[in-house]
Structure 1
Amino acid sequence: MSQMPLTHKRIARILGVSETTVKSYRRKFPDCIPVASKGKPIQFTDEALEVCRAIRDLFSAGLSIEETHQRLAELFEFIVPPVFEEPEEDNEVVEVVLPDDYKQAMSSLATSMVNLSLKQEQMLKKMSSIESRLQQLGLADVRTSGTTSSDPVLAELRVLTERTEALWDAISCSVSADSTTHSDYTEPSPKLESQVQKAKVHRLVPLREAISHDPPRKILAMPLLIQEREGEYTPLHGRGNSRITLNDLRASLMTHFVEDDCYTIHWSENNSGWQLDLLQERAHVPHNICLTMAQTSTLRGSVMVIKDMTTNGHEITPGALQDFISDVYSR
């Protein structure tokens, strides 16, 4: 034992934390911090100091309470590993009733997809007609690679615009050359060759192939939480103080933000989990949000935990994100 008794106050002074923080360690890990004497004040063993030191370091590294408890069991022999309750399987058929706003959002999405597909089909027919006309004029076949973009849909629309302009310019140059020479076909001019090269692009990718893929359904259906700096999890709440999932957040954004204020949703997968970019590209004052999240297990089951949050490139607090979600549901 140390020469001076190890109390809450002394442990806090040694570790450089507050006395309240040390007491919170005992609440979160009641069977992990050995007590030497239950008098007033309570005194602890030397092992208790080392356990508190480990808890402080693990919380600073971003570990959750469950993960920290598991590591403590690996570091100290007298600590029992945590037991995670497996969810009971229920063979009963449960009827799932979807919210009205979710159904409306899915219906609007399906209608928009059909309209976009019809528009794309019309544009492809026009392009085929122009290509046929070019082939009749003796120009090269238009079937080589084009440019790429981080957003496949925008890239295809940009290529389509350039392709149309280049094809019309090529036709204009050919007609002009025929009217001035009145002779057999000769080598095309440099300007005509340049326009034809611009017109050579890939076949347009169908819209359903160009849209980025979402995470698996089980990921989208998990409750959404925020990881605090001390390792605790804070759930995000929607309408009626109910816990929300990624599906709920996506459906609300699609329903409540339209026209210039609408959000473009882009997913990307990394080594630790998923990154969700909400891009308000056409708004007068854009509000672009980036959420980096990972799947983890708690005593209640699997959840998606938001680890980093930024808006317009600046880090935001959990409270600011909750305010944003509350504003979405209040529209």
Structure 2
Amino acid sequence: MSQMPLTHKRIARILGVSETTIKSYRRKFPNCIPVASKGKPIQFTEEALEVCRAIRDLFSAGFSVDETHQRLAELFKFITPPVVEEPKEEVEAVEVTLPNDYKLAMSNLAKSMVNLSLKQEQMLKKMVSIENRLQQLGLVNKASTTSPPHDPVLEEVRALAERTEELWNALACSRVEDLDVEMQDDYSEEQDSQTQKATVHRLVPLRDVISHDPPRKMFALPLLIQNNEGAYTPLVGRGNSRLTLNDFRASIMAHFVEEHCYTLRWSENNSGWQLDLLQERADVPHNICLIMAQTSTLSGSAMVIKDMTTNGHRITPDALQDFILDVYSR
């Protein structure tokens, strides 16, 4: 090496960059570029030249500041690895604006509950009055008067619940029979099997579809797809922008409406999370099942989609990417 002192200007000339660039390296990576003398001008050690050379090469390869810092810690023993801080859940702020239709429906529901309570109270008063009158006329025996009070409202609710259950069962059986007759005339056996599998989701009563959403901080994580070789590929939207789990959920809910809308159902399993996208009102549903898990990369935490099926058939990562691009092209 040359015996000339290694200053900002000297290092910049050797590496073929500007002096301002070398100074920016020191600001972005404090305590990583060793200084030999703090006089004027500042002089650096031989290790400083090698560190700056590595920073230049890593930046040219497209590495971020955090990723570059991590690689420097692996190359040079005197450099401390960067400390990665997990995002605090309290920092996340989500503003939710309820639609006017939802507010109106909730207001009407509250009024209906108040009216129902008033009518129940009136019915109970009338029943007490009728029982007292029957006792005065001697039409009620002692056994009936000593029995526990009868609640007509409770009996009516029980009868309504039993009838609702019967209607659900009758509707499910009728729907399956109708679909069997129609599919035998219009579709092949393979299409008939696929449609019947998709129809199972639509026949499940709404009270049985219970979704357990993941923690809120997971929705801010970017989405990756794992291919057959195990490599990760970012899931991108319009303009090749990287999608987060929240972006994916919002795009599905915004671009598919009416009979094509999807119902999002989350469930937790041993390997992570399962997201079922169910088209419950479509003539031929396009139900999608995604198996995903949280993982860590050089850029930070992310949600990785490990397995994908549509109507029970496994699909490739390219098919899922095409589906996302189709959503953004609507």
TM-score (norm 2): 0.47
With CA pairs under 8 Å and 6+ residues apart, which has the higher RCO, 1 or 2?
A: 1
TM-score (norm 1): 0.47
Task: Give the structure with higher Rg (CA).
Answer: 2
More helix by share: 2
